[in-house]
Amino acid sequence: MSISGEPWNLELEPGKKYSYLVEREFRVTNAALGEELADEKGRSVVKVAYIDPNTDDDSDDDDAAQTQIETVLCSLRAGLVEQCKLDVTFPPATELEWQVTGKNKVYLLGNFILSPDMPPYGDMSDISSDEEGYRLEDVSSDVEVPADAMDDSDEEPKLKSKKRPRESDASLPDETPDLSKLTKNQRKKLAKKLKGEDGEAVPVGGDTPAKDEKKAKKDTPSKKEKETPSKPSAAADGEKKKKGGDERTLPSGLKIRDAKLGTGPAAKKGQRLQMRYIGKLPNGKIFDKNTSGSPFVFKLGKGEVIKGWDEGLAGMQVGGERVLTIPGNLAYGPRPPKGSGIPPNATLLFEVKLLAAS
């Protein structure tokens, strides 16, 4: 389900191409000829080109990685069909190129789309302070996650097996039997079921395991093992790297802590970043968030966000999670957005997750 937001429109002049980067999801609902016609009998065809989303991003061939698809949205003819109803939606981070053939201008009309759980900027009445326990790992990494698809239960469903027990297993009693009445084969099966703390089978009756003496020798460290200090394994180093590091403070006063290091490319100035985030005040109250629906999209280092974001997200790898403690001079300073609930010169804490950088 989606909610219609503010209107969107585009005027197409013949002979020109219009490049358009989708930063907010929008829908085109209507195409129409203008009031003045340069050609009163002419035909106008509205076309749009976009990058094929099925293109292999890992390809080394730039041409293959940028396969462009061109399609026709509608065809208008002066005096016959001068407008056309449409219902075409374009997701964020899509590069479009519009053009119209013929001699007449065409006007496109539509609207931006708001996710039902994402209030418009400045309207934060549904964000309460009882979400102080929201953790960074709870933030959705999916571009679209329906609310009813989330399951708060940590327990896995228990399925009742329809498989009948084997006769050999069913013949063994639930309680410890009289060993003298068991056959040798039943004693072996019972030994497999009765395991000690080390996971080894417990001897039953006259069965004497020959593993005990070998295990005792194996558990006794040799002289060489005593003298050689243990080294951390590569897996342990990888786990430590994955979890991130300690908090560091930049000369500007911005504090950065990587809660989880990503494995994708690092964010660079001028790239379009797709983000999830939770913004908190020093007292833990959430004043803004983007945890589902369409991600927040902006260009890094172009002044489209507060300075603390432009500085604190540079070099962050895709898939990573970072905590930014931003002083007031790198946030909103003495004039925070009206209705945001942010005090003047407030230090802000953002928990962010980088979904994509392009």
- Catalytic residue, chosen from 112, 277, 296, 298, is 277
Question: Does the active-site annotation cover 26?
Answer: no
Report d(CA 222, CA 60) in Å as an integer: 52
20 included as an active-site residue: no
Give the residue from 228, 315, 231 showing the smallest Cα distance to 269.
Answer: 315
Question: Is 107 an annotated catalytic residue?
Answer: no
What are the residues whose beta carbons fall under 8 Å from the beta carbon of 214, sequence distance 6 or more? none
Catalytic residue among 26, 90, 287, 298: 287
Structural element, H or E, at residue 242: helix 234-243
115-123 long-range Cβ contacts below 8 angstroms, 24+ apart: 115/2, 115/3, 115/292, 115/293, 115/294, 116/1, 116/2, 116/3, 116/293, 117/147, 117/292, 117/293, 118/290, 118/292, 118/293, 118/294, 120/5, 121/337, 122/337, 122/338, 122/339, 122/340, 123/339
Q: Which of the following is catalytic: 256, 286, 332, 342?
A: 332
Does 127 qualify as catalytic in the annotation? no
Question: Which of the following is catalytic: 112, 288, 310, 326?
Answer: 288
- Residue 256 is a catalytic residue: no
State in Å, rounded, how far the first CA of the chain is from the last one: 28
Q: What b-and-e string marks burial along 227-252, b requiring 16 or more CB atoms within 10 Å of the CB?
A: eeeeeeeeeeeeeeeeebeeeeeeee
The alpha carbon of residue 86 and the mean position of all alpha carbons in its chain are separated, in whole angstroms, by: 31
Whether 326 is a known active-site residue: answer no
Q: Tell me which residues are annotated as active site.
A: 277, 287-288, 306, 332, 350
